[in-house]
Structure 1
Amino acid sequence: MQGHGYAAPPPRRPSTGVLVLLRVIFVAVPILSIGFLAWVAPLRAAIVTRKRGDWWVFAGSLAVLGISFALLSTDNTDDFSTPKGNAGMIILLLNAAACVAYYLYADIHHHRPYPTGHPVPPASGMNYGYPQPPSPYAATLPQTPVAPIPAPAPGTPVPPPPPHRPAPARIDQVRAELDELSDYLRQHPGHTDGNHEGGR
C-alpha cells in the first residue's frame, strides 16, 4: 500500500543577518523616498507571508498613496505650501510610517522562532499518519506515536511477545538466595505432622 509520500518541505528560515539586512533595506526605501515608495514594504510582507490580510494592507497603501498624489497634484507651488499640499505631504509621510511599522511587525511575526515546548505547526500538505521530514524543533518536543497499533483480526496468529530483557544482577542474586532458602526448608521441614510439601 502506498501513501502520499513526502510533501514539499516548508521554506527554511533565512539567517538572522539576511533578515536584518532585508529589514534595513525595506525600511530605508520608504523613508528615503519620502513616502513615494512606501508601498514596497507592504508588498514585501505580502509576498513573504502570503496572507490575504497583508495583500489588503498593500492595496490600502496604494490607495492612500493615490489620495496623497491627488492632493499634491492640485498644489501649484514649489514647496507644497497650500492646505491641500500640506495635507498631501502629511498623508504621504504618515503612509510611509504606517507601511514601515506594519512591514516590521509582519516580517518579525512571520520569521519568529517557535518557543521551546510548543508544537510546530505542520507544513501544508502533510497528512496525519504519513512519514514526515525531520523538524529542526523535534528535539524540544515530546515524542508521541503517529497512529495506534491496530488489533489483529480474529483467526490470525498472534506473534510471540518480545523476549524479556535480562534481569539486573541484584535480582539474580536475590533469586539465587531464595532458591537456596527453599532447598534448605525442603531438607529441614519444621513441621512434625508429616505433611512435607517441599516448603511451598
Structure 2
Amino acid sequence: MQGHGYVPPPPRRPSTGVLVLLRVIFVAVAVLSIGFLAWVATLRAAIVTRKRGDWWIFAGSVAVLVVCFSLFATDHTDDFSTPKGTMGMILMLLNMVACVGYYLYADIRHHRPGGLPGPPALNYGYPQPPSPYAATLPQTPAVPLVTPAVPPAPPPPQRPAPARIDQVRAELDELSDYLRRGDGHGEGGR
C-alpha cells in the first residue's frame, strides 16, 4: 500500500486564558519599557507564525531601534532634549505602537478558531473536518416579503421521463438483436 505516510496531528490551540495572558505580558513588556523592548513582541509573532513576512517585520523593528540608539548617541544632554534626541524618542514610541499593534493582529489572526490549517500537500485526498462556522450560520428558510393574494396553481402533472436504466436496457436489446442477425453471415462477412 502506498500513501502519504504518517501525518502528524495539527498543533493544539492554547486555551483562551493562556492566549490573553501572553498577549497582556508581551504588550506590557513593550509599553513599560517605553519601546526599548518592543522588538520582543514582533519576535514572538515571528516565532509563532513562522511566516517570512513576520520575520521581516521583526528585523524592521530592530532596525528602527538601532536608528533610535544612534540618534540617542549623538544627543549629549541628559534628557534627550536636542532635536536628534526628540526624534529618537518619537521614533521609539511610534515603533512601540506599531510593534504592539502588529503583534496583536498577527497573534489573533494566527490563533483564531478554525485556523492552523495543515499544509495542503499533507491533507490532499483525506477527508477534511467540517468547518466550525458552518453550524453557527442560521438556517432559516427564505420568506417572501409579500404574500400572494391568490394561492398559486399546482404545476401540471408531467409525464415521467423514461429512466436511464430503461433506455440502456432498450439499447442493449437492439444491439443484441443486431448481433444475432449478423451471426448468419459467418465470421468473414464483415
What TM-score do you get using the length of structure 1 for normalisation? 0.61
Q: 1:5 to 1:138 in 2, by over 3 A?
A: farther
Is contact 2:46–2:54 with CA below 8 Å preserved after alignment? yes
1:103 Cα offset (Å): 0.2
Tell me the amino acid that sits aligned with residue 33 of structure 1.
S
Q: 1:11 to 1:60 in 2, by over 3 A?
A: same
Superposition map of 1:104-123 within 5 A = 104-114=104-114, 122-123=117-118
1:67 Cα offset (Å): 0.4
What TM-score do you get using the length of structure 2 for normalisation? 0.64
Say which structure is richer in helix.
2
Larger radius of gyration: 1
Please name the residue that 1:156 is paired with. Answer: none
Q: 1:64 to 1:127 in 2, by over 3 A?
A: same
1:44 Cα offset (Å): 0.4
Identity of aligned residues (%): 72
Superposition map of 1:78-117 within 5 A = 78-114=78-114
Q: Per-residue CA shift, 1:163-199, capped at 9, x if unaligned?
A: xxxxxxxxxxxxxxxxxxxxxxxxxxxxxxxxxxxxx
5+ long unaligned stretches in structure 1: 115-119, 143-200
User: Considering only aligned residues, what root-mean-square deviation do their CA atoms show, in Å?
Assistant: 2.2
Superposition map of 1:143-158 within 5 A = none
Task: Choose which of 123, 126, 130 in structure 1 pairs with 2:122.
Answer: 126
Please name the residue that 1:73 is paired with. Answer: 73
Superposition map of 1:1-200 within 5 A = 1-114=1-114, 122-124=117-119, 125-130=121-126, 135=129, 137=130
Tell me the amino acid that sits aligned with residue 129 of structure 1.
G
Please name the residue that 1:166 is paired with. Answer: none
Is contact 1:6–1:126 with CA below 8 Å preserved after alignment? no
Is contact 1:65–1:92 with CA below 8 Å preserved after alignment? yes
Count of aligned residue pairs for this structure pair:
134
